[in-house]
Chains A and B, each alone.
Chain A
Amino acid sequence: KAGVTQTPRYLIKTRGQQVTLSCSPISGHRSVSWYQQTPGQGLQFLFEYFSETQRNKGNFPGRFSGRQFSNSRSEMNVSTLELGDSALYLCASSAQGAGTEAFFGQGTRLTVV
């Protein structure tokens, strides 16, 4: 059974640009959650999508947005990038929803210069 796939693995962007990250969940999983991980703040919840609807959202500015497609694949977009957005972005898929036996991808390492 294929795991959670995130693309790209590494990304370098310039301040002010925007970026789109992709996450393909485990087949049959309808929930995809996104997290930001930094050395200073640890793992922080961004949002969760379930069957194409955003079900929950963490405390992040509106520059961070996402969507989920009918095949459960999800994208996360960050607009007007700031240096502080440099982080490892992780997505997790689960059958039931955020947290319940969630399986994480390898993450996308975003560096903003």
Chain B
Amino acid sequence: EDQVTQSPEALRLQEGESSSLNCSYTVSGLRGLFWYRQDPGKGPEFLFTLYSAGEEKEKERLKATLTKKESFLHITAPKPEDSATYLCAVQVDNNDMRFGAGTRLTVKP
């Protein structure tokens, strides 16, 4: 069965303290892996799409990477406004989208 697991569930960082979030997946026929950011009471905000192992994408303090079994979202020198829940999702062969449970990130000033 297709599964997406995100770790850790929650992460507390000091401002400027870099770290990484993990998304591991077990799916048949990966068509794409997506990262979203969700703030409380709002819909997810699209961040990145990765399609093949070895691919990397960057946006401001965020960098997403993809291997054959997992993806990492690296956060460099985070700021308090980066506090949010980060969701990973995979799209499989039948176009079904499977989301992980998310990592709740808190960045303290």
Contact = CB atoms under 8 A, between A and B. Distances in A.
Majority SS of interface residues in chain B? strand
Contact of B102 (A42, A45, A97): A42
A44 interface: yes
B101 interface: yes
Interface string B63-74: 000000000000
A48 B31 CA distance: 16
A45 B97 contact: yes
A45 B94 contact: no
Interface residues of B, number: 23
Interface residues of A, number: 24
Interface secondary structure of A, over-half rule:
strand
Given A98-B91, A100-B49, A42 B97 contact: no
11 contacts: A43-B44, A55-B95, A56-B96, A58-B96, A90-B44, A98-B96, A99-B34, A99-B89, A99-B97, A102-B46, A103-B46
